[in-house]
A and B are shown apart, each in its own frame.
Chain A
């Protein structure tokens, strides 16, 4: 039973990890807690769903439609709701993001209706089992895409010119401008990328549970935040680690402690880690200038 619960945890954790990557990337570069990330994840899932059901497109174009659409949403949000408040106190940015999150949830409710829609099954979800562990093909796809995305993103951020510009912007926006970096472009690009990643996660989760609904992003958005903080906010491999830790601890906690306190376990781990190592497991401590 322990092995089974562990594999449940890894499957769940890879979903959290996938959601957290886009979140942590945006945070790492713009220092913005994107409360709307979970809702972009929902918008992406709904757009893919629309592509599949309304436009009768096959899965791959629908998936791309969802990602590109969510990226467009992300850019629009960054342009109209976030960049005007970059210079204001941080709490304004924070609340603007919460406002956008509330808006997106209710916007989706107006467009697609409040009820849960069933996501068409596009992938034959086979179950493989060995040494007491069961894993389905979709779980493998989610885990696989998480690992691949972490690899690609780490490469982009660390080793490309674009990545260097991104890291530069994350350290000091004004100086980056002086260095000839088009900071607006970097900010929007980051947003587009983060939202597209969110959409990919949302679509995969929609496929996995065969359900999409307007409030689907709320809890994952919060969990992505926690996973990102546990792993060290801004660190892409950290987000993956954080997501996995959360998934496994939730799974084992529900099994051996109580299913009612399942969501509390993530928060307890978060608080313990923050008190012991405030910058997160893989985060770099930023010394504040005095």
Chain B
């Protein structure tokens, strides 16, 4: 069971800056475990970030993303009090969504 995402969102100048730390093994499928067996690929394939109910960022990720990805992005048109939600979906069909409020 992965940890909940840690998120922070604040207004900086004319943009909202969102920082989110995700908890995910990001296995490439190329590494071997100590017993010699391949660790199966398990990685985030898409990330959808919303401001209230509007999509502000969509990410298509592959196996190059490291374990426990840290994502920082900024967008215009948001303000204090808005709800930010981040959803990831991985290659196994697992998904997680967490939210925060723009401070």
Is the pairing of A and B real?
A: no
B residues near A (Cβ < 8 Å) are none
A residues near B (Cβ < 8 Å) are none
